[in-house]
Structure 1
Amino acid sequence: MADVSSTSELVSMARYWQRTLLDADLKSVKATPDGRNVNATLLEIQSGVLREHQVKAIFETVPEQKVTAALPAKTAPTPASASTKPRRERLRVIVVPFLIASKAEDQSRRKMGSAEKVLAPLVIPALLEEETGALSRRAGEPPWVAREYLEPVGGSGLVIGSQDELDHYLTATEIPGDGDQQDPAAAWGAWYAYAEGMLPKDWKERIEQQGYAIVPTGGRVFPDEDVRGVNQRLISVYDAIRATPGSASALFGSYASHADEPQRDPLPPEKWNTARHVGHVNAVHPLSVSQRVAIAHALATPQGALFPLNGPPGTGKTTWLHALWSSLWVKAAIDGEERPPLIVVSSTNNQAVTNVQESLAKDVQEPRWLPTLPSAAAGQAIDLLGIYIPSSTKVQEAAAKGMRVTSPQMDYFNDFEQASGYTSAARAYWLQEFRKACPAPKVDTVEEGIAHLRATMQRLSRLTIEVIDSARLANAFEAACERRYAAFGGIAQAQAQLVKAKHEASQREQRWATAGQRWDAYLGGESIWQGVFGFLPSIRTSRGARDRAALRSLGIEVAALPGEHAVPSKEAREAVVQLLAQRLEQARAKHASVGEALSKSNDDHARLMTLVGKFDRTMRDIALDQDLQSWLPAASQALVQGAASLRRQDVDEFDVPTGLQPWLDRTLRHAMFRIAVHYWEGRWTAEVERVRAANALKKPTPDWRKAAWGRRAMLTPCFVTTMHTGSGVFTCRPAGEDWQPHWGVIDWLVVDEAGQIAPEIAGPMMALAQRAVTVGDRKQIPPVWSVSDRVDAANARRLDVAADAAAYERLADQSMASASGSVLGIAQRRSPWRAPGMPETGLYLLEHRRCVDPVIAYCNELSYAGRIQPKRGMTGIVDGHPWPHMGFAHVPGECETVSGSRRNVFEARMIASWLKRESETIRKHYGKATLGECVAIITPFALQKASLLKEMDTAFGRGAADVGNLTVGTVHSMQGAERALIIFSSVYSAGGDAQSYFFDKMDSVLNVAVSRARDSFLVFGDIGIFRPTAQTASGLLARHLMKDRGNEIVLSYTDVRREDLLEPNSEPTYLYDLVDHQKALTDCIDRAQGALTIVSPWVTMPAITTDALPEKMRAAADRGVDIVVYADDRSLRTDAEHPRKRVDDALSQLREAGVKVIRVTDPLHAKMLLVDDAQFVEGSFNWLSASRDDQYAKFESSVSYAGPRVAAHIEKARSLLSQLAQLSADGAAK
């Protein structure tokens, strides 16, 4: 790990991040009543002068040292005081000119807490004179509109304007000067006018439309030291870091460091520490390949380090977190630690942390060996393995949902620890349950039971390590043998061949030894006279012949002898002796070599058999372990009994049925997790009894606080809280000192949705922790940054973090800038791990199991370059699934811009109508009681959410039981969540005022929206805005939606009508069946006087000839009617049901009838008739292609509007169609 930040660097970053939080709090004022602020009328605030009693009420609550004396001597007298002083005092105050509250009838819908019912959208920092009551501007501190009320918003409350509108105003409007010192009232008036101009001119109408009203009691003025926003606890921790920078944990030093970590590839499996991964929660589903790689590296995270996990949607982040905390919990038990690690999962919002809490309740179903709490809290039990630490305003809500809560208001643990007699009862109950689960050992005390459980976990851990290590050793040695004996074809073949070779070498050695003996015998048998008279030719000849014959009998050719030695010379005979000795030596060496090789192969084979035997014995021991069997469900017991079918060679093959690691997850690791639950329960009873005996349950010392958290961690391995709440909860109080942060008390901090968290938010919790695992995905929703680049750069420069623009750019590149960074970005930069081919550092989860393949294919192409591995396929989808997986419904509504936000009321009404029609089918299909369990509606705009909620209430009735808690909102409302069906309300309309679409500004919007859908993602809106040729997120979505003609959802237009097109006291004409539509088309042709426009994506010969349309159109054209048909060129070219020639023939007949046919290259989904400027018909009927055979006709519906009000709509529709025609022509020209 690279060096952590220096002390000066650490303090600078703490000061810089703290400044961001302070700025954010000032810009989110909650003007709630208390004794330190006063009401003031709008007129009083506009005039710039407060009354005497108002001034007194503010000043008397502020210590003197907070009041400054720095005003100029000349100020006009005011009604507040007629006296004069040479120097007058002033106070920094916050002025809220007016307050907004939701109307009474909307309270139940908005579910606001009392502190949130009064909103302060416009805030003006000011100075207040004590003597005169005059308000004046504060230099360098401009007014602001709270960001939370500007579109785009992450929440779903009031929208008063848009950020774009405000930016335009600030750019175009000159900031007033200080004004004439002789006329401070005029200066304040100019300043107030500038502030009020930051709001849209029609802001009052906008809030009225959203169900809000101005509070009649006026605005408020209060000291700005009273602005204690949501970030106060974070700010306090930064204060402590700055005061004592050496106290913060090493983790914060790493987090605040500007150094980049050198990168390297992830470790191969053989280098993993197998002793760390010892727990697994789920007995059915093992870890995936990428989850296993990530858990091995995360568990090796050293103290003071950050580990980033990149988790695209649906890749099992929650399952992975379960594997992390369960292994840490079990390992502490095996090692006999004094307490388990304190593991805290934290994020910025309650939705993220409660998702983790709910997964613990759903996925972990281990019965506890502790009794319910008697008497006063009857029925309260220690059951869940996750504890929620909520803010004070969320305690009751969380408890009502069945969550287990610890907080100052409601401490789940204290109820048990302090209940009289509970501990002794709990110990007796625990012992009773132990004896049921473990009948074999005779145990008389809880301590003996605890020891037995720990010994069992140690044994299972040892078996886990042995089976992995023995398999790896055997496999490695087997691979080495295969390489070593590759020439033989393997070790078994080598042994056989070497035995044979040794035998042959032995024979050769014997042969040459015998040859030497025979040669010696031959020479010894020769007559002495042969040697004496050997010079005689005859004797020499005969002697030479005998020598050659003797040599041949020994297998030696004379030619093998040195050339200068002619047989039978003395030299030749001596050469023969040397040759025979040499051959014998060679044969002996060969024999010895082959013998050694054979011995080595025998040793290798024996070692391999020993290693394999150790693996086999370990597996046999596991299969026969009755204690293990008792801790496993039936399916896992069967796995243990079938251990012989596992392949040792698959120890590090993580995605095969015979893989050892997945098998261990479901057997030994799962058993150890279950045992650890009860081990720590027993330890908790012993610890509480010890502490109660020492009367030390509550002593506000660091050691006591750490011990208290340690006891809690014995009952739950996982605490979940927000960053804001957690930074104030993990505190301690050293003797004689004030409360302060409890540095390093958290062993493992898990930052969930880390890609959505700005850097300054997580810093305080980092300072309280020893290690951090950051889980997130930078391809999903980015943080909601609370400061602009301009303000952030100024802060960084002023606080010595970035001296110039280049330095600030580096800060942004390091993901540390408050205006652009994220926690995940910092963790990635500080991580050494980078998998080959991956775009970012850290480990990745890649196997996707949430969505069906057609749904996740879009996200994979949009954001992940095909790296996600779809694993679900079409699992769980039965034949005849009622809805397309990537579907769309064309809703030709009108998009309106209101309060800087957008809505499409007709679209909202259509969605509500469709859900009403489909509700029973949806609930029955998924076996759920409420629609909210199956469906969620996502829209880009908060204002559209309000429209959707209103239309849902109209369609179903407010609070309808079959709707349930249906989520409707922006993508933020569904981050981390999922539903079977996701409906996307796109809001925009083709030909509208939007130059671009909000969901195209960031790919993350549609990436998140689509990936929430398990089975179907359904777009409801004007499909004309989705252009397949566009290289945008919506363009890609269009290509996926329009792959199949069957992806279109046919809507019923008879349930919903366009009020804006209706004349007063009139009704539209509804078309219900084929006959209605045929008659309407004929009537429109006959009625048209000047212009008839027919929009029909498909055109077929049977449709136009059955109704004799060419003849009817010819008659209309002859009387001067301009008939234009718009058709979808792509549909005409790819219609499988009607051959190309037949389609061309149909178009030719229309042209011959005087009809202008325009083939639109962009997908065309509207089905309309436009008659002159007097009649407009829209619906689901394809006018020129729908089957005219009643037997095969589909359900179709349309609505006809007539009258003066349709004229503007018809004009707009024709204009849009003309634009499409021009685009098609331009495209053809290219």
Structure 2
Amino acid sequence: MKEHTRNITNYFIRSLKDAQLTAPSAKDLNNILPPSKKNKNGRYILTDQDYWNTGKLDKELTKEIFKKTKNKNKHKEVEIVVIPRIDVGKTKTDVMTPLLIVAKLDKEGTLSPTEHPPWIPRDLLEPLGPNANNKTPIASLNSVDEFIDNNYFYKEDIKTWEDLTNYCCNFLSTVINKKSDSIFDLVIHDSYKIHNDKISIIDAEAIMIPPIIQKTLESLRLEKRMPPLYEQFCSKENANPKPYVDLADDAEYSKQHVGQMSGEFVLAPNQRNALHHSFAIKKGDILAVNGPPGTGKTTLLRSVVANMWVDAAIEESDPPIILACSNNNQAVTNILDSFNAISESGMDIDENIKGRWLSGINTYGLYACRATIKVTDYAFYKQKAEAEDSMDVIQSQNYDDLQEGFLEKFNTWNNSKLETIEESIKVLHKRLTKTKKYINKGVELKTDFFEKIKAIESEFGSYEGFFSQITNVAEALASYETQHEKLINTKNKILDFWRDRSFFVKLFMWLPLISVYEYKKNKEILECQDIDINSTDYSDKNTDSLLDVHISSILEKINIEKKSLVRHSKTKEVCNKSFDALCDWMIQFTSLDNVLITSALSKADDVIDTQLRFYMFKLATHYWEAQWLVEMNGFDAEDDKKSKDKILRKYRRFAKITPCFVSTLYTAPTLFKESKKVNNKWTVKPLYDEIDLLIIDEAGQATPEVASACFALAKKAMIVGDTDQIEPVWNVNESIDWGNLEALNLLNKKEDEQYWLESGLMSSCGNVMQVSQNKCQYHQFANLELPQGLYLTEHRRCYNEIINYCNDLVYKGVLDPLRGDPKEVPPWGVMSYHASNTEPSAKGTSKVNEGEAELITKWLLDNKQSIVDYARKNNPDLENKDEAEILGLSVGIITPFKPQTGLITKKLKKHKMNTITVGTVHSFQGAERLIIIFSSVDSKKNNTRKFYDRGKNMLNVAASRAKDSFIVFGGSNFGGDPNSPSGKLKKRLTTTLN
């Protein structure tokens, strides 16, 4: 292993620990510690220290904790954080919690250990780095690491509460280098003493990061060889971009595109470009796809999954293991919804092939979740044996019934009477290979026609230009031929005139008097024929010579135009022949009504994507269902053990009916680990380098240390996101982060600081999308100084007026607004402003604006009916829905401040409009509404700091959620500096509402 990779692995481990090694702030502690009564209903609960020796909490306290806990699934146990002692110094801010413990609490009040080890808050350990706010270290990071290395926290060894308390006492006394039999007798620091009331604090609402990520990385650093993808993710060297080539129309990659999960829409050019690039990435590669809002990220991800699944069916290989992850449950839900919502209605394919031929399965995504998660809307898999999941239910169905149902549907589709699953597999595979040949033929014909059209456009600008050129050449040729005919006729007249001269005129032509007269006659004949020989010399000799020159010149022009016309006619003939061949191929699959040459390429894409590739996906769906039935024949659940081969075989079996595993980044590593006996002891080892493709969606919201383990488990990765939308929630303090880099030999010189800030790898300010941009070998818009990676640019969600604001603010004009402008402007405008002119007030560390909340509510009440009418007019599907549901689907309210969310929600509820979603930008991740209202909670005063101007992200996300109207409610001085996000927005708020 490279030293840098080992060091950064240690850094990720340290960051994961530090993200949890936090404690209540001094302010929070002062709000709860006696004599304060401020925290009566807060997340922290005070208790005496008796439980430390007994391992029991009293029943009333236990009830209170269960009531507060964020575990809403009513399980018999909950996890809580226990802070056994609080130490205080000389001032109110001098408060520390030297030790924190995660414990399980059952409903009887019994405490027991968890797999989480105890910890000392990171800001109490040296080194702290700059800007550490005068924290008082009580030990060093090295001493803590050394203790853990020598006294690893094995769940198997720490079984009882007494085991845990003994471990804690040993841990704390060792790292501060003071001996004691009780943690309460230790003097932690000379400037601090234990609180007089001898109390402990219980945090009932803490959420702990599952230790599996940390354990995966701890196991990884023992490996001699790093997985290539992980090595690339951690590498200090950024990728050197290859010369960028657009692959959207590449014929060979088009032939590799064999499946589409839906037949609703044809892929946009940059979606196709990204898909084709995904075929080109190799083991260890990271493909970054920047996906601005409304550009079809979901369609791309479904296409990638569908293609790999269909391709494996064609090749008769095992189905791929594809894992799609995201940082939070909302993003995961969006992915799962996309695999659930596969519309087949109206598709121009055989009705009998639609749907699933296995009962009990109706999705293409498998939600891999924790055993404690309650799932109702998705197919799900829980790794713990005692937790029943969708796979258990499907696999426990009567095999004969499943086989009979499958064969009945197969035979209806195939118009046959086959009796075995094996026979159906052969038929389905034969149809797959046959349809792939149709696709290949279509791609070849389309490519041939595309090259013909491209050559024409290269020379003439467009096909219409080419057609105009043919007309121009034909007209020029006709004109030259007319001129030629006139010149010949004129010359003949001249010659006739010369022949008709009398003998005496011919004899005495040398006399000036006669020659001048005769030459004048030459001139008159020419002028009569409207021919100018560009000469004052009309002598016979000169006239004859110049007429010949003119005739030769016109003949040369005629020859050139004839050649051009022949060449253009041949080009047209060849193009028409290619067009006819493409049309003859297309007509096998769809009706062609007046398809023009200029629209044939898009029509061919439509036929191949929405019919043939979608048909291939349906064939593959039933092919894999049949393969699943073959494997399930005689299936014994005992075969699904925890050895590597059996786990992978199980997951490939799951992949036969749900081609994509979906999970959070926190849960994913629990799936890919094996158990084996080493020296008579069971050990767990991660399954490195086994996921065929890792997909991370909304990667701009994911921190690198949390995602790192997934990169170690996969062969290659497609990372999709946008660093200019919602940012991560960083759980590591910047000062601590710099201290960790220094402690782990990753910060050796001044230049390193800039590298780390730009790398995306820092736990206090980085994100996975930024890392992936740096590691991607493609740079689509290098000339615009946009980050590396590919880009989806075709935007169809918002009216152009709205998305043009985002395009100007963030995307340097690369977005292609395709929705257009409204034919009829919404009653409240497209980009509108409503002055609230009321002052905000403080709400803790946040703020609210009561008057603005009231104004928004009143505006919605006044416009409720027009909103409902407008929504129904624009979406006939809403006709039968009630007003409340339509309002919820049509309107969203975004505000920067959480308390304002609660205030507006309360007012809407009072007027029975509580179906409307109100929240910060995080609540609208991946969402859209006809109307988005932005409650700025602004002030009339000019000198107030604009919270929404701290970066471009917030207003970019807020505006891009709005399909038809974006309405800002704010003070009369809304909008900061003209070049700030709000300043640029203010210029575009063209409609003022009263």
Shared topology, TM-score over 0.5? yes
- After TM superposition, the score normalised by the length of structure 2 is 0.69
Whether 1:856 aligns to 2:803 is yes
Query: Does the aligned pair in 1 maintain the 2:799–2:963 contact within 8 Å?
Result: yes
2:949 aligned with 1:949, yes or no? no
1:418 and 2:375 equivalent? no
- Asked if 1:323 corresponds to 2:303, the answer is yes
Q: Give 1:351 shift.
A: 0.5
State how far apart, in whole Å, the 1-side matches of 2:217 and 2:207 are.
15
How far off its partner does 1:764 sit?
Answer: 0.5
Question: Do the aligned partners of 1:759 and 1:821 also contact (CA within 8 Å) in 2?
Answer: yes
Paired residues for 1:22-33 under 5 Å: 22-27=17-22
What amino acid is aligned across from residue 670 of structure 2 in structure 1?
A: G
Candidates 248, 255, 259, aligned match of 1:275 = 255
In structure 2, relative to structure 1, the CA distance for the partners of 1:300 and 1:115 (3 Å cut) is farther
- Of 181, 200, 203 in structure 2, the residue corresponding to residue 219 of structure 1 is 200
Distance 1:644 1:982, change over 3 A: closer
Number of aligned residue pairs: give it: 773
1:1021 matched to 2:970: yes
Query: Which residue of 943, 947, 950 corresponds with 1:998?
Result: 947
Distance 2:776 2:579 in 1: 36
Give distance in 2, aligned partners of 1:367 and 1:123. Answer: 60
Of 676-685 and 811-820, deviating more is 811-820
Q: Rg larger in 1 or in 2?
A: 1
User: Counterpart of 1:723?
Assistant: 665
Greater RCO structure (CA 8 Å; 6+ sep):
2
d(CA) in 2 for partners of 1:259, 1:787: 24
- How far off is 1:99 after superposition? 13
Q: Secondary structure at the match of 2:832?
A: strand
Decide whether the 8 Å contact of 1:758 with 1:821 is kept in 2: yes
1:988 aligns with 2:904: no
1:878-897 mapped onto 2 (5 Å cutoff): 879=824, 881-897=826-842
Post-superposition Cα deviations, 1:247-274, rounded to whole Å, max 9, x if no partner, equal x532111111112222121245346422
Question: Displacement of 1:284 after TM fit?
Answer: 3.0
The one-letter amino acid of 2:609's match is D
Distance 2:666 2:923 in 1: 19
Residues 843-922 of structure 1 correspond to what in structure 2 (within 5 A)? 843-874=790-821, 879=824, 881-922=826-867
Contact 1:294 1:309 in 2 (8 A): yes
Q: Which residue number corresponds to residue 1048 of structure 1?
A: 992
Q: Could you tell me whether the CA contact under 8 Å between 2:838 and 2:852 is conserved in 1?
A: yes
Residue in 1 that maps onto 2:914: 963
Q: Specify whether residues 978 and 138 from structure 1 end up closer, same or farther in structure 2 by C-alpha distance, changes over 3 A only.
A: closer
Check whether the contact 2:258–2:616 (CA below 8 A) recurs between aligned residues: yes
The answer for the alignment partner of 1:665 in structure 2 is 609
Residue in structure 2 matching 1:56, options 50, 53, 63: 53
Match of 1:432 in 2: 408
| Residue 310 (1) aligns with residue 307 (2) | no
- 2:251–2:444 contact (8 Å) kept in structure 1: no
Contact 2:255 2:443 in 1 (8 A): no
Which residue number in structure 1 is paired with residue 4 of structure 2?
A: 9
8 Å contact 2:840–2:938 — kept in the other structure? yes
Partner of 2:621: 677
The residue aligned with 1:1053 is: none
Instruction: Quote the residue 1:1055 is aligned against.
Output: none
Equivalent residue in structure 2 for 1:939, among 871, 886, 895: 895
Distance 2:904 2:594 in 1: 59
Is 2:234 aligned against 1:256?
yes
**8 Å Cα contact 2:320/2:655 also seen in 1:** yes
1:867 deviates by 1.6
Contact 2:826–2:964 (CA under 8 A) maintained in structure 1: no
For the 8 Å contact 2:356–2:362, the answer to whether it is kept is no
- The 3 A distance-change label for structure 1 pair 116 and 975 is farther
Instruction: Check the 8 A contact 1:894/1:989 in 2, yes or no.
Output: yes
Which deviations, in whole Å up to 9, do the C-alpha atoms of 1:150-198 show, x marking residues without a partner?
xxxxxxxxxxxxxxxxx9x98776759999x9x99998795479x99xx
Q: Does 1:686 align with 2:630?
A: yes
**Aligned partners of 1:103, 1:703: CA distance in 2, in Å?**
41
Are residue 472 (structure 1) and residue 456 (structure 2) matched? no
Q: 8 Å contact 2:366–2:378 — kept in the other structure? A: no
Quick one: distance in 2 between partners of 1:942 and 1:102? Answer: 25
* Structure 1 position 911, deviation (Å): 1.9
- Matched-pair contact (CA < 8 Å) for 1:101–1:117: no
Whether contact under 8 Å (1:41, 1:217) holds in the other structure is: no
Distance in 1 separating the partners of 2:659 and 2:802: 35
Provide the C-alpha distance between the structure 1 equivalents of 2:984 and 2:923, rounded to a whole number of angstroms.
Answer: 24
Q: Tell me by how many angstroms 1:909 deviates.
A: 2.3
Give the SS at the match of 1:910. helix
The alignment partner of 2:399 has SS state of helix
Measured in 2, the distance between the counterparts of 1:360 and 1:448 equals 29
1:650 offset after TM fit, Å? 7.5
Q: Secondary structure at the match of 2:776?
A: coil
Distance 2:941 2:62 in 1: 38
Equivalent position of 1:834 in the other structure: 779
Alignment-mate amino acid for residue 201 of structure 2: R
SS for the counterpart of 1:913 is helix
Counterpart residue identity of residue 241, structure 1: L
Establish whether residue 978 from structure 1 lines up as the match of residue 928 from structure 2. Answer: yes
Matched to 2:908, the amino acid is: M
Q: Percent identity?
A: 26
SS in 2 for 1:259: coil
Distance 1:99 1:792 in 2: 37
Give the equivalent residue in structure 2 for 1:1033: 981
- Verify: 1:291 aligned to 2:271, yes or no: yes
- The answer for the alignment partner of 2:218 in structure 1 is 239
Q: Which residue of 1 aligns with 2:163?
A: none
- AA aligned to 1:942 is K
| Deviation of the 1:1001 alpha carbon | 0.6
Superimposed CA distance per residue, residues 709-742 of structure 1 (whole angstroms, 9 cap, x where no aligned partner)? 1111111122221000112122222466423222
Alignment partners' CA distance in 1, 2:841 and 2:77 = 28
Residue 894 (structure 1) shift? 2.0
Q: Which among 700, 707, 713 is matched to residue 649 of structure 2?
A: 707
Determine the C-alpha separation between the residues in 2 that align with 1:388 and 1:240: 26
Change (3 A) 1:696 1:455: farther
1:794-827 Cα offsets, whole Å, 9 max, x none, are 1011112222443232122222222222211111
User: 733, 756, 775: which one pairs with 2:720?
Assistant: 775
Q: Where does structure 1 lack aligned partners over 5 or more consecutive residues?
A: 1-5, 31-39, 62-97, 128-134, 144-166, 197-215, 373-380, 498-597, 625-636, 957-961, 1051-1230
Task: Please report how far the alpha carbon of residue 857 of structure 1 lies from its aligned counterpart in structure 2 after TM superposition.
Answer: 1.6
Task: Report if aligned partners of 1:623, 1:643 keep a CA contact under 8 Å in 2.
Answer: no
Query: For the residues of structure 2 that align with 1:249 and 1:974, how far apart are their CA atoms?
Result: 36
Aligned-partner Cα distance in 2 for 1:217–1:888 = 56
Q: For residue 11 of structure 2, what is the amino acid of its counterpart?
A: Y
Report the Cα offset of residue 278 of structure 1: 1.1
8 Å CA contact retained: 1:176, 1:191: no
With over 3 angstroms needed to count, the CA separation of the structure-2 counterparts of 1:1017 and 1:122, relative to structure 1, is farther
Tell me which residue corresponds to 2:698: 753
Secondary structure of the residue aligned to 1:908 is helix
Q: Give the AA of the match of 2:921.
A: V
Q: Which digits, 9 at most, give the CA deviation of each residue in 1:612-649, with x for residues without a partner?
A: 9798667645644xxxxxxxxxxxx5xx23299475x8
